[in-house]
C-alpha cells in the first residue's frame, strides 16, 4: 500500500497545508477563497521563479475565459492577507511586463511515511535544511495531527491493523475537514445563494446620469429611483419588463436619503432631507403613486422591515448628545423602541458619500439586524458589519475587513449572507459590491471596475439586485475674478481637486488628485505647467492649506492610521504631525501663520479646535456641533457650519464666531448641496458659498450686513467640488466636473 505524501510550505509567519488546503498564520486559520489559495499555491510552488499572468490564469481558471482584472484583484487580496502594504514586496512582487514572483524564502516540508525532508527555496537556489523523523522537525497541530500521529504509531506496531486504522483515519480526517469547512464557510445548506452573483448579467436601467438611489420590488417587477440633481429630486417608478417610467412623487427642493419597498410590494418607504417642514421625515407612498403619508421624523438612515412586515428598524442620531440609536417601530411608525445605543455617533454614521443608501438590514429569520460599524484598529478606523440580536440586544461584529466606507446592506433570502456596497483601501473612494458570508464573515467581491456603487437592494428570491453606478470626474480650472466665460482648465487627470485646493502667495495652486488610487497633494503653476507631486505613497492626504508666507502646507493624512493634521514644507519635505486626535478634518492656517484651525470628530461630536503651527497649545473652540471652519482675512473671525437646535426644525446653518471661539454671533441659512464649501471674500465683508440650480453649481456671496446674496459665477455646466480665491481675490481656482449616476440591475446567472 503506497502512502500519500503530505506537503507543507512555510514562509514568514505562515504555513501552507496543501492536503487540507489551509493557510495558517502562527497556527491560526486564515480565510482564503479557493481561487486565492490556488494562486498562492502556484506562486509558492514556484518560489523565486517569475510566473506569467497567462500561465497563472490557465492554472487557476482552466478552460475558462477570465479577464486579467480577476487575477489582479485576487493578487491584491493575497497581499492584504499576507500583511503587505502599498509599495511593499515582502512576499509577492510584480515583475512589469512579465508576471508575478514569490520572493520570500520558502521551506518545503515533505512527509513520506514518517520520513521528513525540508528544502528551503530562496532567490539564490535550493538547499536541504534538515531531514529525519516527523517528531524531529515538524510539530503537529492539536487535534487532527495528534490523532494521525497515534494512528501512524499503531500502524508501525500492529501491521495487521493497518487497514482498519487507515479507514478510521480517513473518516476522522473527513470529519475534521468538514468541521473546518463549516467553520470557515458557515452553514453550507445554503450553497446556491452562498455562491450568488459569481456569474451575473448587468443591465443599465436609466441613462439620464441623474439617478440618486434605487430599490427593487420583492417580485422583481419594479424599480423605484430618485432622479434629479443638486437639491431638486423626484421619485420615478420603472416597470422592468416594458421599460415604461412613471413619476410617482413630483420633483421638489429635497434630497432623497433612502428607499425601500414594503415586503408585500404595495408601498414605497422613503426618507428625504427637506429645506422646510421637518428633520429627515419618513414617508410612504403607494407603489403606483397617490397620497403620501408621513410616518415619523428625525430619522437618519433608511428603514428595514421585519420578515412579517409588521415592524421597521432605522437609525436616529443625536449629534448634540454624541449618540446614535437603533430603533424598532410598527410599520406605521408608532410604538418606537430603542434596541441599542452607540457611542460615539460617528462610529455608526457613514461618510458623506455613502449616507444616502445606508441603513440597517433585518435578517430573514427575524433574529438579528445588521448595520455598519466603524471602529478603531491599530492602523486606522475601518468599517465592518455588526449584528444586534432583537431578542436580547446582544451585539456581534461579523466581518473584520479594512473597508474605508460601507453603505447599503441587504440580506440574502436564506440568511446565508449579505450583499453590501463597500470600498477598501485599493478602491477608495469608489465602492464595489461584495458578498458577506454569515455567520463566518468571509467576504467575496462581486464587481471589479472603476465605477462606484451606492446602495444594494435585493428581490425576495435574491436572484436580482439593484444599485446605483456612479462615475465622477474633476479637473482644476482657473478664472480671472469670477468670470466663468474666461475660465481655463489646467489639469487633465479627471480626479483633481476633489479633496481640496489652495493658493500659494506666489499664485501657484496646491491641489489633491486620486489618479493613483490614494489621494495625494500636488503643486502646479496657474497656467498648468510645472506639476510636482508633494506626497508619495503615504496613504490619503487631503484638504491642503498654504501658509500666508508660502513656507508650509498643512493637510490631513491617515499615514499613521488615524486622520491627523500634518505640516510639510512647500516642496513636500520635512513632514511633521501636528495633532494626535482620532479623526481631524479641514485644517486652515490663520492669516498670521501661527495657528491652524480645524474640526475634530474623534469624540463623535464635531467641534472646532486650534493648534499652533508647531503642534503645541491645542485649544477647543466650541462645545457644540460645528465643522468646516474658515478664518477671515483679518484673522478675527471664523465661519463654519453648525447644528442650530434653537430653531424648529433643528437644522444645519452657517455662523461666524470670534477666533477665540464661543457661541454663534451671526447666523445665515445657506443651501446645503453635497460638498458645500464656504469661503471669505478677500475684503472680509462677505461669505461665498455654493448653490445648485438645474444641476449646475455656481458661487454666490452673502454680505455679512445681511443684504441680499449675489451670484458671482455664471457657469452653465458641471458641478463644483472645491474652490479657493487667490490671496488678492482676483482669481478663482475650482475643481469642476461631473457625476454621472444611473440605476443598474444585476441578475445572477446559475
Mean pLDDT of the chain, nearest integer? 82
Supply the pLDDT for residue 82.
Answer: 86
- pLDDT given for residue 636 in this prediction: 95
**What does the pLDDT read at residue 74?**
77
Are 526 and 505 contacting, i.e. CB atoms less than 8 angstroms apart?
no
Cell numbers of 341, please?
A: 445605543
Q: What is the per-residue pLDDT for 600?
A: 87
pLDDT of residue 241: 94
Question: Hey, how many other C-beta atoms are within 10 angstroms of the C-beta on 677?
Answer: 21
Report whether pLDDT(522) > 90.
yes
Q: What is the pLDDT of residues 584-618, one digit of tens each?
A: 899 999 999 999 999 987 655 789 999 999 999 99
Angle at 134 between CA 131 and CA 138, to 5 degrees: 90
- Helix, strand, coil tally for the chain in percent (to 5): 15, 50, 40
Q: How is residue 341 annotated by DSSP?
A: E
pLDDT-based confidence at 63, cuts 50/70/90? low
Q: How many residues are present in the chain?
A: 750
User: What is the rounded average pLDDT of the residues 255-273?
Assistant: 91
Q: Of residues 537 and 334, which shows the higher confidence score?
A: 334
Span of 28-37, 340-349, 630-639 with lowest mean pLDDT: 340-349
**Confidence grade of residue 472 (pLDDT, cut at 50, 70, 90):** confident
Asked if residue 313 has pLDDT above 80, the reply is yes
Residue 85 or residue 371, greater confidence: 371
For 149-166, what is the mean pLDDT? 40
Helix (H, G, I), strand (E, B) or coil at 4: coil
User: Which of 288-292, 370-374, 656-660, 720-724 shows the lowest per-residue confidence on average (mean pLDDT)?
Assistant: 370-374
Q: How confident is the model at residue 497 (pLDDT cuts 50, 70, 90)?
A: very high
Residue with more model confidence, 11 or 27: 11
- Greatest distance between any 2 Cα atoms in the chain: 103
How far is residue 492 from each of residues 73, 309, 474, 542, measured CA to CA in Å?
27, 50, 8, 19
Per-residue pLDDT at 192: 60
Residue 97's pLDDT band (cuts 50, 70, 90): confident
What pLDDT digit, counting tens, does each position of 318-329 carry? 766 667 788 999
Instruction: Report the pLDDT value the prediction gives residue 426, as an integer from 0 to 100.
Output: 65
**Which residue matches cell numbers 429630486?**
233
- Which grid coordinates are listed for 695? 444641476
Torsion region of 294: left, alpha or beta (phi above 0 gives left; psi -120 to 50 gives alpha) = beta
pLDDT tens track for 535-580: 987 888 999 999 999 999 999 998 887 889 999 999 999 999 999 8
Per-residue model confidence (pLDDT) at position 119: 53
In the predicted model, is pLDDT for residue 126 greater than 50? no
Band (pLDDT 50/70/90 cuts) for residue 218 is very high
Residue that wins the pLDDT comparison between 348 and 222: 222
- pLDDT of residue 182 exceeding 60, the answer is no
Percentage of residues in the chain with pLDDT exceeding 90?
Answer: 46
Rounded to two decimals, what is the model's pTM? 0.67
Grid coordinates given for 726: 487667490
DSSP string, 506-548: TSEEEEEEEEESEEEEEEEETTS-S-EE---SSS-EEEEEE-T
What is residue 320's three-state secondary structure? helix
| pLDDT over 50 at 353, yes or no | no
Residue 519: C-alpha distances to residues 11, 19, 122, 176, 379 (Å) = 33, 43, 36, 46, 17
Q: Which of 231-245, 331-345, 505-519, 583-597 has the lowest mean pLDDT?
A: 331-345
- pLDDT score at 7: 78
- Whether residue 439 is preceded by a cis peptide bond, meaning omega within 30 degrees of 0, is yes
Lowest mean pLDDT, pick from 74-88, 475-489, 490-504, 715-729: 74-88
Q: What is the 3-state secondary structure (H, E, C) of 267-289?
A: EEEEEEEECCCCCCCEEEEECCC
pLDDT tens string 421-447: 998 876 667 889 999 999 889 899 998
Residue with cell 440650480: 693
Q: Where are the alpha helices (DSSP H) in 186-245?
A: 191-194
Amino acid at each position: 500500500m503506497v502512502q500519500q505524501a503530505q506537503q507543507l510550505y512555510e514562509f514568514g509567519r505562515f504555513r501552507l497545508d496543501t492536503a487540507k488546503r489551509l493557510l495558517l498564520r502562527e497556527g491560526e486559520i486564515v480565510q482564503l477563497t479557493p481561487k486565492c489559495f490556488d494562486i498562492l499555491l502556484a506562486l509558492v510552488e514556484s518560489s523565486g521563479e517569475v510566473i506569467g499572468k497567462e500561465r497563472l490564469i490557465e492554472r487557476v481558471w482552466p478552460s475558462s475565459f477570465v479577464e486579467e482584472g480577476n487575477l489582479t484583484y485576487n493578487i491584491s487580496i493575497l497581499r492584504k492577507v499576507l500583511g503587505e502594504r502599498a509599495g511593499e514586496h515582502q512576499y509577492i512582487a510584480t515583475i512589469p511586463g512579465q508576471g508575478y514572483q514569490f520572493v520570500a524564502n520558502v521551506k518545503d516540508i515533505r512527509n513520506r511515511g514518517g520520513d521528513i525532508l525540508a528544502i528551503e527555496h530562496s532567490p539564490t537556489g535550493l538547499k536541504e535544511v534538515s531531514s529525519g523523523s516527523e517528531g524531529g522537525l515538524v510539530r503537529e497541530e492539536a487535534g487532527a495531527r495528534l490523532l494521525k500521529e497515534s494512528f501512524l504509531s499503531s500502524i508501525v506496531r500492529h501491521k495487521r491493523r493497518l487497514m482498519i486504522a487507515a479507514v478510521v483515519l480517513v473518516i476522522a480526517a473527513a470529519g475534521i475537514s468538514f468541521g473546518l469547512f463549516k467553520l470557515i464557510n458557515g452553514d453550507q445548506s445554503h450553497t446556491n445563494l452562498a455562491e450568488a452573483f459569481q456569474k451575473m448579467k448587468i443591465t443599465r436601467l436609466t441613462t439620464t446620469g441623474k439617478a440618486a438611489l434605487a430599490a427593487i420590488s420583492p417580485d422583481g417587477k419594479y424599480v423605484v429611483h430618485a432622479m434629479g440633481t443638486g437639491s431638486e429630486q423626484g421619485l420615478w417608478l420603472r416597470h422592468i419588463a416594458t421599460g415604461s417610467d412613471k413619476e410617482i412623487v413630483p420633483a421638489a427642493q429635497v434630497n432623497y436619503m433612502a428607499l425601500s419597498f414594503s415586503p408585500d410590494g404595495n408601498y414605497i418607504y422613503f426618507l428625504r432631507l427637506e429645506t422646510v417642514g421637518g428633520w429627515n421625515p419618513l414617508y410612504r407612498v403607494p407603489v403606483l403613486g397617490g397620497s403620501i403619508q408621513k410616518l415619523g421624523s428625525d430619522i437618519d438612515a433608511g428603514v428595514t422591515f421585519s420578515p412579517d412586515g409588521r415592524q421597521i428598524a432605522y437609525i436616529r442620531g443625536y449629534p448634540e448628545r454624541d449618540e446614535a440609536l437603533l430603533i424598532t417601530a410598527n410599520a406605521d411608525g408608532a410604538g418606537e423602541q430603542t434596541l441599542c445605543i452607540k457611542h460615539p455617533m460617528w462610529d455608526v454614521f457613514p461618510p458623506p458619500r455613502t449616507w444616502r443608501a445606508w441603513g440597517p438590514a433585518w435578517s430573514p429569520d427575524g433574529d438579528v439586524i445588521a448595520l455598519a460599524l466603524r471602529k478603531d484598529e491599530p492602523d486606522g478606523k475601518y468599517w465592518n458589519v455588526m449584528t444586534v440580536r432583537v431578542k436580547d440586544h446582544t451585539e456581534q461584529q461579523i466581518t473584520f475587513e479594512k473597508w474605508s466606507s460601507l453603505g447599503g446592506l441587504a440580506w440574502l433570502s436564506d440568511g446565508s449572507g449579505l450583499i453590501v456596497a463597500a470600498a477598501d483601501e485599493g478602491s477608495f473612494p469608489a465602492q464595489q459590491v461584495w458578498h458577506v458570508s454569515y455567520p463566518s464573515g468571509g467576504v467575496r467581491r462581486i464587481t471589479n471596475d472603476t465605477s462606484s456603487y451606492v446602495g444594494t437592494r435585493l428581490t425576495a428570491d435574491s436572484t436580482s439586485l439593484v444599485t446605483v453606478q456612479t462615475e465622477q470626474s474633476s479637473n482644476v480650472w482657473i478664472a480671472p475674478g469670477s468670470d466663468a466665460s474666461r475660465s481655463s482648465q489646467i489639469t487633465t487627470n479627471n480626479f483633481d481637486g476633489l479633496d481640496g485646493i489652495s493658493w500659494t502667495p506666489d499664485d501657484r495652486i496646491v491641489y489633491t488628485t486620486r489618479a493613483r488610487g490614494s489621494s495625494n497633494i500636488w503643486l502646479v503653476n496657474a497656467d498648468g505647467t510645472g506639476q510636482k507631486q508633494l506626497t508619495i505613497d503615504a496613504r490619503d492626504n487631503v484638504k491642503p492649506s498654504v501658509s500666508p508666507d508660502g513656507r508650509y502646507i498643512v493637510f490631513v493624512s491617515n499615514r499613521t492610521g488615524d486622520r491627523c493634521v500634518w505640516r510639510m514644507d512647500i516642496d513636500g519635505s520635512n513632514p511633521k504631525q501636528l495633532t494626535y486626535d482620532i479623526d481631524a478634518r479641514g485644517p486652515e492656517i490663520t492669516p498670521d501663520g501661527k495657528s491652524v484651525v480645524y474640526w475634530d470628530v474623534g469624540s463623535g461630536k464635531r467641534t472646532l479646535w486650534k493648534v499652533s503651527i508647531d503642534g503645541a497649545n491645542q485649544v477647543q473652540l466650541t462645545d457644540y456641533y460645528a465643522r468646516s471652519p474658515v478664518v477671515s482675512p483679518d484673522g478675527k473671525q471664523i465661519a463654519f457650519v453648525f447644528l442650530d437646535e434653537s430653531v424648529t426644525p433643528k437644522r444645519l446653518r452657517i455662523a461666524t464666531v470670534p477666533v477665540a471661539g464661543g457661541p454663534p454671533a451671526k447666523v445665515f441659512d445657506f443651501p446645503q448641496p453635497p460638498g458645500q464649501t464656504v469661503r471669505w471674500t478677500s475684503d472680509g465683508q462677505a461669505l461665498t458659498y455654493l448653490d445648485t440650480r438645474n444641476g449646475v453649481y455656481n458661487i454666490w456671496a452673502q454680505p455679512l450686513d445681511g443684504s441680499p446674496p449675489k451670484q458671482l459665477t455664471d457657469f452653465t455646466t458641471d458641478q463644483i467640488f472645491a474652490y479657493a480665491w487667490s490671496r488678492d481675490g482676483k482669481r478663482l481656482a475650482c475643481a469642476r466636473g461631473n457625476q454621472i449616476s444611473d440605476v443598474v440591475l444585476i441578475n445572477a446567472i446559475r
